[in-house]
Structures are given as C-alpha cells and as structure tokens.
C-alpha cells in the first residue's frame, strides 16, 4: 500500500447545471444530510490519513475560503483562481504543493459511501507506481440514478482504461476520485485552463491509466433533482449498494 499524505479537492467550478442553487452558493458548499459536500470530501481525506490538502476556489471563492478556514485537519492551502483553470489547470498549478509521491484528487461534489473497506485505502492498496500514472475510481453506469450519457470508460481484465469507440456505450462512469502521480504530468501540459481528460488520453495511450470499480455507494450530483434524490435516499435509508 502506498502512503497517502497529500490531496486536492476541486471546488472552483461554476456548477451551472445545479442552478438556481449555485447562483448564490459554491456547489461544493451545498449540503447533504446537513454537511457540505466540501466537508464530506475533506473528511474523507482526513480519514485516509492525509495531512496536507489544497482546495481551489473561483466561484464564490470567499465562501469556500470561509468554509475551509474553520477546519483543523487536514492542513489546507487555498488556491484562489482569478479565472477558471478547469480540472487540469487547477491541479497543474497546485503541483508544487502536492509533494513528490502519488496524491489524491477529488471533485468537490463527489459524495460516496464506502463498501467493505474505505475507498481511498482500497485504491492505495492497489496503486502500483511502477505501471500506473493514475488510478481512477469508477462506478457502473447501470447502477447510477441520473443522466450518464454514453458512459466514460471501459476496463480490461487488469484494470487498464480505454475510451469508448464511436457509437459504443461504456459501462463505467468516473466518480471524481483519483490517485495521480507527478509523472502523470511529466510529459508537459498547457498553460492556463485545460481538462484532465487531455492527460487521461495521454496516459491511456501509454497504458498507464488504470481504474478500480467502487464497491460502495456513489451519488451522481449534477442537478438539483440529483441532490434532492440523494437527500431523500439517505434520509429514508434507501441507498443501494453498488455491487
């Protein structure tokens, strides 16, 4: 098992599909069962033993800054982004703060419940830097309530990732949780805003992007209806295990 010491939570997005809720509130500060999505992500990093975290902020950045200021653990560096950098640009800018070992990156709206073992511990136990530059946590599309489009990825028997071909449906969707290495960025990356998908494709081409299927519960939180459905499911105890 690799030690996990550093992590990043992506909290800068506009959350357009979650409007009108996000017109006055940063999406990661929306609450589920009385706790913000951002705190839920940071709680997960803390539970995994991660002591250093970066949180980026752009939309309602002052709200995000106030929210993280009250946390004692993990120790948080706020990365204020004057312009949107997207996922790749945000992580790329934070690289000097993320150490030299594999680190965790989580979307600020990723809410998951563990299966038989904590998801990050399971991912750390499977991560092999000798063959991997990235390890994604994916969920079966058939077990996701809400719109998933064509899905995101296929996996081979070893867990290597590939994209769906044209007109092909993919059985897995990305959960927004991943472990990356500094080597994932070693081939260079654009200045400014860009999507991590650009580097996923490069890692896929080199055979160094892998994924593991989540064995617990994941909430797809894209729209207000998704959030209402997740709230109702948790309140009623009706969440379904993703096996």
Please check whether residue 193 is in contact with residue 119, taking contact to mean a CB–CB distance below 8 angstroms.
no
Cross-strand bridge partners of residue 7: 53, 104
Rounded mean pLDDT, 14-22: 91
242 lies in some domain:
no
204 lies in some domain:
yes
The secondary structure of the chain in percent helix, strand, coil, rounded to multiples of 5, reads 30, 25, 45
pLDDT value at 139 more than 70: yes
More reliable by pLDDT, 147 or 114: 114
Q: What is the pLDDT confidence band of residue 232, given thresholds at 50, 70 and 90?
A: confident
Cross-strand bridge partners of residue 139: 173
What is the average pLDDT score of the chain? Answer: 92
Task: Give the percent of the chain with pLDDT over 90.
Answer: 76
Q: How many domains does the chain fold into? A: 1
pLDDT at 1: 81
Neighbour count for residue 107 (Cβ, 10 Å)? 21
pLDDT at 146: 66
Per-residue H/E/C for 109-170: CCEEECCCCCHHHHHHHHCCCCCCCEEEEEEEHHHCCCCCCCCCEEECCCCEEECCCCCCCC
More reliable by pLDDT, 83 or 240: 83
Q: What is the pLDDT confidence band of residue 239, given thresholds at 50, 70 and 90?
A: low
Rounded mean pLDDT, 230-234: 86
Neighbour count for residue 87 (Cβ, 10 Å)? 21
Please check whether residue 201 is in contact with residue 163, taking contact to mean a CB–CB distance below 8 angstroms.
yes
1 lies in some domain:
no
Beta strands in the chain (DSSP E): 6-10, 31-32, 35-36, 52-57, 75-80, 103-107, 111-113, 134-140, 154-155, 161-162, 172-180, 209-213, 217-219
Q: What are phi and psi of 162, to 5 degrees?
A: -140, 160
Domain that holds residue 64: 6-236
225 lies in some domain:
yes
194 lies in some domain:
yes
Q: Mind listing the pLDDT tens digit for each residue in 19-66?
A: 998 999 999 999 999 999 999 999 999 999 999 999 999 999 999 999
More reliable by pLDDT, 145 or 203: 203
pLDDT at 204: 97
241 lies in some domain:
no
pLDDT value at 241 more than 50: no
Q: Mind listing the pLDDT tens digit for each residue in 162-174?
A: 999 988 899 999 9
243 lies in some domain:
no
Rounded mean pLDDT, 84-101: 96
CATH number of residue 119's parent domain: 3.90.550.10
Please check whether residue 173 is in contact with residue 147, taking contact to mean a CB–CB distance below 8 angstroms.
no
140 lies in some domain:
yes
């Amino acid at each position: 098992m690799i030690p996990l010491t550093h992590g990043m939570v992506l909290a800068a997005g506009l959350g357009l599909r979650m409007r009108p809720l996000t017109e006055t509130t940063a999406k990661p500060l929306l609450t589920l069962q009385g706790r913000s999505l951002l705190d839920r992500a940071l709680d997960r990093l803390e539970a995994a033993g991660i002591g250093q975290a970066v949180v980026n902020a752009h939309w309602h950045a002052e709200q995000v800054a106030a929210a993280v200021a009250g946390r004692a653990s993990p120790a948080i560096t706020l990365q204020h982004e004057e312009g949107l950098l997207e996922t790749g640009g945000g992580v790329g800018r934070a690289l000097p703060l993320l150490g030299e070992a594999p680190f965790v990156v989580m979307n600020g709206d990723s809410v998951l419940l563990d299966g038989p073992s904590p998801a990050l511990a399971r991912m750390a136990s499977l991560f092999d830097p000798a063959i991997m530059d990235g390890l994604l946590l994916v969920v079966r599309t058939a077990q996701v309530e809400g719109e998933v489009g064509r899905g995101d990825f296929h996996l081979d028997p070893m867990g290597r990732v590939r994209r769906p071909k044209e007109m092909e449906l993919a059985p897995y969707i990305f959960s927004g949780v991943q472990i990356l290495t500094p080597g994932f960025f070693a081939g260079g990356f654009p200045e400014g805003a860009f999507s991590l998908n650009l580097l996923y494709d490069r890692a896929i081409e080199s055979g160094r992007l892998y994924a593991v299927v989540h064995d617990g519960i994941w909430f797809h939180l894209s729209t207000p209806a998704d959030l209402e459905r997740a709230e109702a499911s948790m309140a009623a105890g009706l969440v379904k295990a993703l096996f």
